[in-house]
Structure 1
Amino acid sequence: MATTVGGGAKPLAKSTAPMTAEEKKVIFASSLGTVFEWYDFYLYGTLAPIIGKQFFSNLDPTSQVIFSLLAFAAGFIVRPFGALVFGRLGDMIGRKYTFLVTILIMGLSTFIVGLLPGYAAIGVAAPVILIGLRLLQGLALGGEYGGAATYVAEHAPHGKRGAYTSWIQTTATLGLFLSLLVILGARTWLTEPVFADWGWRIPFLVSIFLLAISVWIRLSMNESPAFKKMKEEGKTSKAPLTESFGQWKNLKIVILALVGLTMGQAVVWYTGQFYALFFLTGALKVDAPTANILIAVSLLIGTPFFIVFGALSDKIGRKPIIMAGCLLAALTYFPLFKALTENANPELAAAQAKNKVVVTADPERCSFQFNPTGVAKFTSSCDIAKQVLAGRSVSYDNEAAATGSVAQIKIGEKIIPGFESKGLPADEFKKKDAEFKAAIGAALKEAGYPDKAKPIPFMGGQWWTLVAILTVMVIYVTMVYGPIAAMLVELFPTRIRYTSMSLPYHIGNGWFGGLLPATGLAIVAQTGNMYNGLWYPIIFAGITFVVGMLFVRETKDVNIYAND
């Protein structure tokens, strides 16, 4: 179905020349913007509790964190709109200048967060301006990745677009380590109270140096040869949005790019790097520093494979590598995450195998258990029982009971009756709740359920086994993500390329990928089984595999100078 896009172009001769200094400069300049994206991503996520206290200090501690994360999420939501705005500009006035505008907006938004007075100083204006900065950055990011991918691909010699654009994908790791390094340095230099008071601003403020380097380099760059040639021939699009999304021949490729490529790529990416971290610290109760180190090491080991699979896609094609990554992920996530359990918290795995936890309750009395703010009030015996188990990160099975019956929890052979709290006086509820939790805690302890994972010896056999499991998931990420930029560029003609490729990328990664952690946790909270959240990435990776195999064509030999 995608053969109409550049399909009539005569294949070009593949380049065998080594990368020139100018080409290296193009890759470096383009990648700096993506480093910025991930630097800010990890920075804001790591410092969310402190940011919550600074800008939402009028709220309770739980709500402070929730609202700081919601402000962060706002940037994800507007990314597709940024793709439309800046994609249109990129196709009309050029890659270079649009690319320059996006890095300026993105960089200044990050820097200004470091200068922004908190709620104590300017009141409600503080969170309003913070959210406004997040929205601006999200809009700029919507145009940044598409610009980077398009700019590099249009500079790359034929036959090397996969290898060249794959360098952009490695920058997530660099952004992670850069943010950790700056935060650790500031925390070491200052005391923790000083860092929490004002020192947290330093990582945001030092980003101005990264911005200055990026702008200086981008100002010295030339316009991409493909766009320059098209402009000289007078073939630039006057209405890229209309051409991209108002004409079925191009709109169907946009839809296929989303459903048959970026949707699956996004969920595999977020599972391998973020959901795995949440699973380690939440379900498996591994301490946060150990979990972060495990993820960081697996990223270091796996990152070179972005280049490996990008270069390989120039030889065997983009499609087979991306599809293989989606299929492998869908088939192996369950055994991989179970292997994580057995190695990160073997006591928990043994207890689950020997003494299952079962909640027997009237299904009509069980409500949706997802409670991200921690303020929902549960009154039925089913809800109370599940809330207690969820609070202890205990995985359980569900069994239906007679209508109107009081829920009970079975742990191994021990049965603990639940209670209804509706109408109970506060002091009586407090007493019953404490007794119920104590009974569950004692039963779990007797059944071998640990309160937390035992310390994992650094660099020991158990530690390296976990790194190996996590690295496998990161390699899946490199398979789906390494060739994706080149393939998206090659799917669309030059005149509407920036606009057309940016939208499916940011819907896939901003919405399908960005919603994965919250949705996965919601599924776990609702079903009780800690592995059920994996159905989200498995289903969407599976859909991408089927649609991609049936309807998305190979693009590696496309002439990207074609405009038909």
Structure 2
Amino acid sequence: MVLSLPYIIAATCAGTLIEWYDFYVYLFLQSTVAAQFYNGTESATTIIWLATYAIGFIVRPIGALLFGYLGDIYGRKVTFMASLLMMGLATTLCGCLPTKDQIGSAAGIILIILRILQGLAIGGEYGAAVAYIAEHAPANKKGAYTCVLQVMATFGLSLALASCLIFRAVLSAGDWSTFGWRFPFLLSFLLIAISLYARSKLLESPVFAQAKEDGEIAPSRFTKSAFKPANIWTILVAIIGTCMGQGVLAQVSQAYPLTFITGLGVPLVPAYTILLVPCLLACPFFALFGYLSDKYGRKIFLVTGVTLAAILTYPCYLGIYSFRPFENNKPSSPYRDAYSPAGMSFCIWILVMCAAISYGPLAAYLSELFPTNIRFTGTAACYHIGVGALGGITGVIAVSVTSATGNIYGGLFYPIAVCSVCAVFGFVFLPETNGRNLNTMEDSKIQAETSAIPEKLAA
């Protein structure tokens, strides 16, 4: 059976969407659920909850290496089927988990284990999906086709927000805190089942199948290629020059704002809406910038997004703060006269747009950095070390610094510093990959631009 390219992309992206939904729904239930699993003050339970959230990011590189090896040896399809099933089971179990009042501290420990499983699963999902779509797409349209996958992270986040918002709105506060918070987790079971069915019809990617037929796919060839110095330098350059900037930018634009605005006294339901609207409005732009990267190159967008984020993060958070609810209904600034959710959303939208500029072309860029026999592993390693581990700790650092210093902007130093480093390093060292044909790429040709990086750094 020959499947159309739109079906292939839709089935692949549907699974990625659900995995991101599963991953983010945990974060957005923080204010409701943290105290049901961990003891301490509100600030302490928030930090613990965000640390547990960050664990899922920290273990993602392990999942990337594990699933990456399997995907580069045994194929893309079987790997992202396994990662999807793992994620779905872990999320569903989160919705069934007893609280600390029922089983004590074991509840928090089990939750951490489930977060680890989620992190391992998403570590396997992204690299497989990127490689699979890129290896199906026409040579001159990698950005246009893989950018659909890039939209899924923000759309999955938006779906998680919408799910929490709907269930919270239709349930009373008591029902929501007692059992209603479980529904967004349990919804994952249905979504995963639909996605597994759609993916079960997919065949192996033609580029991988051809490489396997040509004898290029084997454990010995994988090891030789993966540990080649030029490939290792390529991974390091991609992490420092783009991926870690993407990670902190994603968190500071689409995740941390919820913690920040609820800390300013915005009620939970309006806070969900304030974050949901800019994320949804920005979704088409992730696709747009991926499409434009086919015409104008990947590097210009990768560097521009993090550069703008380094410049605009602090002013945008100043704006969010200026539109906060008044204390005792009295304005604290002569420059405004009303609490403005729309103003908050606009400030967040600016940051999400910065993320769209650089994140839209990222999948195409990473897929073009590596030959077929290590494409899954190389892509996944770059993404999950940079975007996952280094980006995922943003919320913990931000809340911890804010709590320690009493400065609500103190936690922004980390994302601003990381984006600044990425902007400079990326401008100098990132190679341009647009136009590379994945069907004919050879290991030596791919690494030509990065093999001289050690000498550049020494100079």
Q: What's the TM-score once normalised by structure 2's chain length? A: 0.86
SS, match of residue 235 in structure 1: coil
Residue from 161, 182, 201 that aligns with 1:220:
201
Query: Which residues of 2 match residues 267-416 of structure 1 at below 5 A?
Result: 267-282=248-263, 284-344=264-324
Residue from 108, 126, 146 that aligns with 2:127:
146
Q: Residues 88 and 187 of structure 1: is their aligned pair in 2 closer, same or farther, counting only changes over 3 Å?
A: same
Q: Residues 60 and 180 of structure 1: is their aligned pair in 2 closer, same or farther, counting only changes over 3 Å?
A: same
Residues 88 and 240 of structure 1 are in contact (CA less than 8 Å); yes or no, is this contact kept in structure 2? no
Q: Residues 61 and 448 of structure 1: is their aligned pair in 2 closer, same or farther, counting only changes over 3 Å?
A: closer
Partner of 2:394: 516
Residues 243 and 250 of structure 1 are in contact (CA less than 8 Å); yes or no, is this contact kept in structure 2? no
Residues 62 and 123 of structure 2 are in contact (CA less than 8 Å); yes or no, is this contact kept in structure 1? yes
The Cα shift of 1:540 comes to 1.4
Distance 2:16 2:202 in 1: 17
Deviates more, 1:46-55 or 1:106-115: 46-55
SS, match of residue 473 in structure 1: helix
The Cα shift of 1:269 comes to 2.0
Structure 1 residue 501 corresponds to structure 2 residue 356: no
Q: Residues 60 and 481 of structure 1: is their aligned pair in 2 closer, same or farther, counting only changes over 3 Å?
A: same
Distance 1:114 1:525 in 2: 30
Q: Residues 277 and 115 of structure 1: is their aligned pair in 2 closer, same or farther, counting only changes over 3 Å?
A: closer
* Pairwise CA RMSD: 2.9
Residues 240 and 499 of structure 1 are in contact (CA less than 8 Å); yes or no, is this contact kept in structure 2? no
Output one character per residue of 1:425-461: Cα deviation in whole Å (capped at 9) or x when no partner: xxxxxxxxxxxxxxxxxxxx9x9859xx9863xxxxx
The Cα shift of 1:196 comes to 2.9
SS, match of residue 96 in structure 2: coil
Residue from 21, 29, 37 that aligns with 2:19:
37
Q: Residues 117 and 312 of structure 1: is their aligned pair in 2 closer, same or farther, counting only changes over 3 Å?
A: same
Q: Residues 261 and 241 of structure 1: is their aligned pair in 2 closer, same or farther, counting only changes over 3 Å?
A: farther
Partner of 1:71: 52
Q: Residues 238 and 266 of structure 1: is their aligned pair in 2 closer, same or farther, counting only changes over 3 Å?
A: same
Residue from 251, 259, 265 that aligns with 2:240:
259
How many residues end up aligned between the 2 structures? 437
The Cα shift of 1:252 comes to 0.4
Q: Residues 43 and 255 of structure 1: is their aligned pair in 2 closer, same or farther, counting only changes over 3 Å?
A: same
Q: Residues 243 and 264 of structure 1: is their aligned pair in 2 closer, same or farther, counting only changes over 3 Å?
A: farther
Partner of 1:545: 423
Residue from 472, 479, 483 that aligns with 2:361:
483
SS, match of residue 294 in structure 1: helix
Choose 1 or 2 for highest CA Rg: 1
The Cα shift of 1:124 comes to 4.9
The Cα shift of 1:88 comes to 0.4
The Cα shift of 1:194 comes to 3.5
The Cα shift of 1:258 comes to 0.3
Distance 2:45 2:261 in 1: 24
The Cα shift of 1:241 comes to 6.6
The Cα shift of 1:220 comes to 0.4
Residue from 179, 193, 216 that aligns with 1:198:
179
Distance 1:122 1:531 in 2: 38
Q: Residues 512 and 454 of structure 1: is their aligned pair in 2 closer, same or farther, counting only changes over 3 Å?
A: farther
Distance 1:512 1:99 in 2: 23
Q: Residues 279 and 180 of structure 1: is their aligned pair in 2 closer, same or farther, counting only changes over 3 Å?
A: closer
Deviates more, 1:510-519 or 1:159-168: 510-519
Q: Residues 304 and 132 of structure 1: is their aligned pair in 2 closer, same or farther, counting only changes over 3 Å?
A: same
Q: Residues 240 and 534 of structure 1: is their aligned pair in 2 closer, same or farther, counting only changes over 3 Å?
A: farther
Partner of 1:555: 433
Q: Residues 76 and 211 of structure 1: is their aligned pair in 2 closer, same or farther, counting only changes over 3 Å?
A: same
Letter in 1 for 2:300: P
Structure 1 residue 166 corresponds to structure 2 residue 147: yes
The Cα shift of 1:526 comes to 5.3
The Cα shift of 1:44 comes to 1.5
The Cα shift of 1:182 comes to 3.4
Distance 1:119 1:239 in 2: 48
Letter in 2 for 1:538: I
Partner of 2:449: none
Distance 2:410 2:32 in 1: 32
Residues 164 and 184 of structure 2 are in contact (CA less than 8 Å); yes or no, is this contact kept in structure 1? yes
Unaligned runs of at least 5 residues, structure 2: 444-459
Distance 1:50 1:344 in 2: 21
Q: What's the TM-score once normalised by structure 1's chain length? A: 0.71
Distance 2:157 2:378 in 1: 29
Output one character per residue of 1:163-183: Cα deviation in whole Å (capped at 9) or x when no partner: 111111222343234334433
Output one character per residue of 1:148-197: Cα deviation in whole Å (capped at 9) or x when no partner: 11111111111111111111122234323433443344445554433433
Distance 2:125 2:442 in 1: 23
Q: Residues 515 and 468 of structure 1: is their aligned pair in 2 closer, same or farther, counting only changes over 3 Å?
A: same
Output one character per residue of 1:504-549: Cα deviation in whole Å (capped at 9) or x when no partner: 2111122221122222344445555544433322221121122212
Q: Residues 197 and 240 of structure 1: is their aligned pair in 2 closer, same or farther, counting only changes over 3 Å?
A: farther
Structure 1 residue 81 corresponds to structure 2 residue 96: no
Partner of 1:26: 8
Distance 1:303 1:553 in 2: 27
Residues 153 and 161 of structure 1 are in contact (CA less than 8 Å); yes or no, is this contact kept in structure 2? yes
Distance 2:262 2:32 in 1: 20
Distance 2:319 2:181 in 1: 37
Residues 305 and 357 of structure 2 are in contact (CA less than 8 Å); yes or no, is this contact kept in structure 1? yes
Q: Which has the higher helix share?
A: 2
Q: Residues 243 and 534 of structure 1: is their aligned pair in 2 closer, same or farther, counting only changes over 3 Å?
A: farther
The Cα shift of 1:101 comes to 0.6
The Cα shift of 1:144 comes to 0.6
SS, match of residue 139 in structure 2: coil
Letter in 2 for 1:168: L
Residues 155 and 280 of structure 2 are in contact (CA less than 8 Å); yes or no, is this contact kept in structure 1? no
Partner of 1:230: 211
Q: Residues 65 and 338 of structure 1: is their aligned pair in 2 closer, same or farther, counting only changes over 3 Å?
A: closer
Residues 49 and 64 of structure 1 are in contact (CA less than 8 Å); yes or no, is this contact kept in structure 2? no
